[in-house]
Amino acid sequence: MWNFLLETFSGLASGEVAQTSAACFDLAFLVFVLATVAYLVYLAVRRDVFWRIGIVCGVIAAVSMTLALALRWIAAGWAPPPFTNLYESLVFFTWGIIVFYLFVEWRFKIKIAGAFVIPLACLTMGLASLSPEKGIEPLVPALQSIWLHLHVMVASIAYAAFLASFAFAVLYFLRDRLQFEWFIAAISGFAVCALPAASKGALFHGAFVLDKVVLRGGEWLKVEMPGRENVFEQIALPGVGPFLLIALAGFLAALVMAIHAVWPGTSCAMRSNSPQPNGRAPVCGYTLSVFAASFVFLTAGLILFFIQLARLPEARLASNPYAFAMLLVVWLGALVVLIAQWRYELLLAALPEVKAIDRLTYKTIMVGFPLMTLVIITGAIWANKAWGRYWGWDPKETASLVTWIIYLLFLHTRLTQGWIGRRSMLIAVIGFASVVFTYLGVNLLLPGLHAYATG
């Protein structure tokens, strides 16, 4: 950490355009971490001083990222825009998130929303910081088009709007006193999928593995298995697997218990969702205890993860950023759920009425949907210039169309069928899941013409 700080501030004072730009990105990441901590503390204790720290850090991050993007563009000779590979795209997406959120915060004054938006922005910026390809490289021919500028820029703002709509949908469910087991089930279900994926299935054997790397020519490179292209050797982190395996079992148990609690006809599902005498959200049986115990084991596993990572030079976070990201998303999601359950009544008091949150979700989607339409149109024009066809059912194109249809369904059912409330909010949540898959999942999991963005 000390070296990171030293490099950041020496970069700011270097006078070199590219180095100063990189240092501004690093500074933005640092203040994003501070903003995340401040907003989570604000969620827990509801003291305005922490909200003020969070919003100030958010403004600093926005200014720093704006300056960094401008300097990076200058360093590239104004030729390629600063969003032509996955690193730059993640950074630009994060910039869109923070700028859009600061506008929403200024316009609608829902302070608590930052606890749901800023951690996701911090995670995105963290992924960018771990990217191995941060240099300014010449563009491949398919990217040398003005339509690229419009396509990626509009997509980043659209995705930022959809992220805000997702946060508002979650706040709607909270304010509408949705049975709290639904939140436990959502995070537990994600954990049951994410933990094995992060370990590449090794967790079922009690181990947690990362791609093995070796230092060659001053760079850390993944070690391919003999005779197998893009299949890398693995290294196990001692002691991490058992903790995460217990956490996985606990989340699976919490998921089953939560589903049983909300199943129609059960005594838990029929109970009133009124607060407990201590002001916490009511949770049936031992569901919350099992969920909290799983969070504790996950936390212990993450602590040991960092300890072992420091001891094993063959395992580096920068070579396995998405495995770590999945673990961190589970941890942050579980932490937010536990804080929300603990400070339930104070959280509800900080939120506007459900009708106001419903309108905010609708407004943010009304910003994102036309932009998403432009994303598809500009992408089709760009595809025709680059590959000689407007549409080819490439995985990225197909996923974008699915995302567009989901949000079209949101608007159609709302404007023609009068759908508001929980049904609409559920569509908004599904839509954002599709956005995440479109933005990252396709690039990382499926082959296609957008594979250059995997950087």
CA 422, CA 416: separation in Å to the nearest integer?
17
CA 112, CA 175: separation in Å to the nearest integer?
12
Residue with more model confidence, 291 or 17 = 291
Residue 353 lies in a domain: no
Which ranges of 15-136 would DSSP assign to H, the alpha helix? Answer: 17-45, 48-75, 86-108, 114-129
Is the pLDDT confidence value at 249 over 90?
A: yes
Question: Mean pLDDT, to the nearest integer, of 384-409?
Answer: 87
Residue with more model confidence, 272 or 325 = 325
Predicted local confidence at residue 359, as pLDDT:
93
Residue with more model confidence, 230 or 5 = 230
The dihedral of CA 279, 297, 197, 326: what is its sign? Answer: positive
Cα dist. 276→24, 259, 262, 272, 273 in Å?
A: 47, 21, 18, 11, 9
Predicted local confidence at residue 454, as pLDDT:
44
CA 149, CA 83: separation in Å to the nearest integer?
8
Domain assignment of residue 286, given as a range: 178-341
Residue 283 lies in a domain: yes
CA 107, CA 100: separation in Å to the nearest integer?
11
pLDDT cut 70: percent of the chain above it: 85
CA 190, CA 350: separation in Å to the nearest integer?
27
Question: Mean pLDDT, to the nearest integer, of 2-30?
Answer: 67
Phi then psi dihedrals of residue 137, to 5 deg:
-110, 155
Question: Mean pLDDT, to the nearest integer, of 5-32?
Answer: 71
DSSP letter string over 124-166? HHHHHHT-S--S--PPPGGG-SHHHHHHHHHHHHHHHHHHHHH
Per the CB < 8 A criterion, the answer to whether 134 and 82 are in contact is no
Which DSSP symbol is given to 111? Answer: G
Whole-number mean pLDDT of the chain? 84
CA 23, CA 4: separation in Å to the nearest integer?
10
Q: What is the CA radius of gyration of the chain?
A: 22
Residue 219 lies in a domain: yes
CA 117, CA 159: separation in Å to the nearest integer?
12
Predicted local confidence at residue 218, as pLDDT:
67
Residue 183 lies in a domain: yes
Predicted local confidence at residue 73, as pLDDT:
81
CA 57, CA 63: separation in Å to the nearest integer?
10
The residues, ordered by sequence, that sit 6+ positions from 203 with a Cβ below 8 Å of its Cβ are: 195, 196, 241, 244, 245, 248
Residue 389 lies in a domain: no
pLDDT tens digits, residue range 87-130? 888 888 899 899 999 998 888 888 888 999 999 899 988 888 87
Residue with more model confidence, 286 or 273 = 286
CA 306, CA 341: separation in Å to the nearest integer?
28
pLDDT tens digits, residue range 60-89? 999 999 998 888 888 766 666 666 677 888
Per the CB < 8 A criterion, the answer to whether 202 and 234 are in contact is yes
Phi then psi dihedrals of residue 222, to 5 deg:
-70, 145
Predicted local confidence at residue 321, as pLDDT:
83
Q: Packing angle between helix 287-311 and helix 240-262, nearest 10 degrees? A: 160
pLDDT tens digits, residue range 326-383? 899 999 999 999 999 998 988 888 888 999 999 999 999 999 999 999 999 998 888 8
In which band, very low, low, confident or very high, does the pLDDT at 270 lie, cut at 50, 70 and 90?
A: low
What total number of domains does the chain contain? 1
pLDDT tens digits, residue range 156-168? 889 999 999 999 9
Per the CB < 8 A criterion, the answer to whether 29 and 125 are in contact is yes
Residue with more model confidence, 385 or 192 = 192
Predicted local confidence at residue 287, as pLDDT:
93
Give the SS3 label for residue 365.
Answer: helix
Cα dist. 106→57, 115, 117 in Å?
A: 15, 15, 14
Residue with more model confidence, 426 or 285 = 426
Closest listed residue to residue 354, CA positions, set 162, 182, 170, 185: 170
Is the pLDDT confidence value at 7 over 60?
A: no
Which amino acid is it at 342? W
Is the pLDDT confidence value at 139 over 90?
A: no
Is the pLDDT confidence value at 257 over 60?
A: yes
Residue 222 lies in a domain: yes
Question: Mean pLDDT, to the nearest integer, of 273-301?
Answer: 84
Predicted local confidence at residue 455, as pLDDT:
42
Question: Mean pLDDT, to the nearest integer, of 270-275?
Answer: 57
Residue 210 lies in a domain: yes
Predicted local confidence at residue 37, as pLDDT:
95
Which amino acid is it at 371? L
Structure tokens at 75: 């360093």
